[in-house]
Amino acid sequence: MADDVSGSVDGEARQWHVLQGDDGKTVNFSEFSPGFQTVTIQAHRSTRYEVEGSISITFSLMDGEISDGEAMYFPEARMTPHFTDENAHERLVLERVELDGGDTRLVGRYEGELAYRGSMFSEADETNTVSLVVEFDVSPSRED
């Protein structure tokens, strides 16, 4: 199955790429205990690693239910500044979750407003936002 991540930033259509290397994929999950997983969906605007234009959605699953999450969009070629939604779990919808066995699959959608964060130490500025829509149908790799 090909990994598909698409959507928009401030209404402008985007297509992102899932990267795969020797150490796994940029879409992955870890299982901390039975029924508790953390998931990362990181996708890039080109077929190589590049911070500018990339998105990241991370969340935790407890017995299949989303317990927390964060969405980020990186408009520049470095990690900050970036835009963030630290309560992304409230706007994340999962249509399909298969993380057991050999074939894994996640299908879902995130839609929300991300606030500007100028540095890792600054508070998010809720007056400076971008809208982000991400639809994904991915096969995450397992991280141990």
pLDDT digits (tens, 9 = 90+) for 17-57: 999 988 889 999 999 888 899 999 999 999 999 999 999 99
Question: Quick check: 117 pLDDT over 90?
Answer: yes
Question: Quick check: 141 pLDDT over 80?
Answer: yes
Q: Which two tokens stand for residue 87?
A: 């309560």
- What is the rounded distance in angstroms from the CA atom of residue 42 to the CA atom of residue 126? 23
pTM higher than 0.75, yes or no? yes
E strand or H helix at 13, and its extent? strand 12-16
Residue with tokens 């991300």: 114
Contact (Cβ atoms closer than 8 angstroms) between residue 60 and residue 101: no
Question: Quick check: 87 pLDDT over 90?
Answer: yes
Contact (Cβ atoms closer than 8 angstroms) between residue 9 and residue 45: no
What's the pLDDT band for 1 if we cut at 50, 70, 90?
A: low
Based on the number of CB atoms within 10 Å of its own CB, is 43 exposed (0-12), middle (13-18) or buried (19 or more)?
buried
Q: Which two tokens stand for residue 62?
A: 């407890």
Contact (Cβ atoms closer than 8 angstroms) between residue 105 and residue 111: no
